[in-house]
Amino acid sequence: MKVHVDRGKLIFDPQPQSETFVGVAKMIAKGDPPAWLPKALADFARFVSLDKPTYDVEIERKMLAAAEYLEEWVPIVYGDWDELDLEAPDWIDQFHNALHELIEMLRKDCEQTRRGGPKPDSRRLLCAAAVGECYRTLHGKLEPGSTLLRDACNEFWKACKNPEIGEGDPGNWRRHLESHVAKSADPWARDIIDLYITGRK
């Protein structure tokens, strides 16, 4: 998938069709896949298929600009509680603190890009998370050492029109799967899968 900027807005190409991912879905399911699985993979493919320079540069810069705008204006718009003799909601401080951390992270990433330093391809972790959580949903456990799971990651990556990594050795996906397991407290991939299982998407 490609994404471009038009009048300051990020414009995405249409979402890939679920039929594209039936083969990968069969690998993950170890047989005929449930109806929701190709659809969920097509949803994940919107991000795994992004053009890497665009994903790493354009989106992060837009996120940084939006976050800095919020950091400047949220205290102005919602900062007059004391003058009104009212107690400010807890979410204002929580939001502002989290926003500060996000801005620091985005600034660091953008600065690294400007210096031309190497940066990990975050699409690979997204790919491992998508395939790994689909596998966990069907089989009850995410197994980074599984040859089938690593092969499925490799096939999904290629189905998203990306070149093979590590000279086509699926074993290279183990590191990305292990990294996802270490971050499994983040439920974003499972949340997307649940939307398709329950028919809400």
Locus of tokens 């249409």: 14
**The pLDDT value given to residue 5:** 47
Give the integer Cα–Cα distance in Å for 171 and 121.
17
pLDDT in tens, 63-97: 899 999 998 888 777 766 666 667 777 787 788 88
Is residue 161 helix, strand or coil?
coil
Is the confidence at residue 51, as pLDDT, over 70? no
**pLDDT in the model for residue 95:** 87
Average pLDDT, the chain: 81
At 1 the pLDDT is 45
How is residue 21 annotated by DSSP?
Answer: G
Q: What pLDDT is recorded for position 84? A: 64
- The tens digit of pLDDT for each residue in 119-152 reads 667 888 899 999 999 999 999 998 899 999 999 9
Query: With pLDDT > 90 as the criterion, what percentage of the chain qualifies?
Result: 38
- Give the contacts of 119 (CB within 8 A, at least 6 positions apart): 56, 109, 112, 113
pLDDT over 90 (residue 159): yes
Assess whether pLDDT exceeds 70 at residue 199.
yes
Q: What is the Cα–Cα distance from 112 to 185, expressed in whole angstroms?
A: 27
Residue boundaries of the structural domains of the chain = 3-197
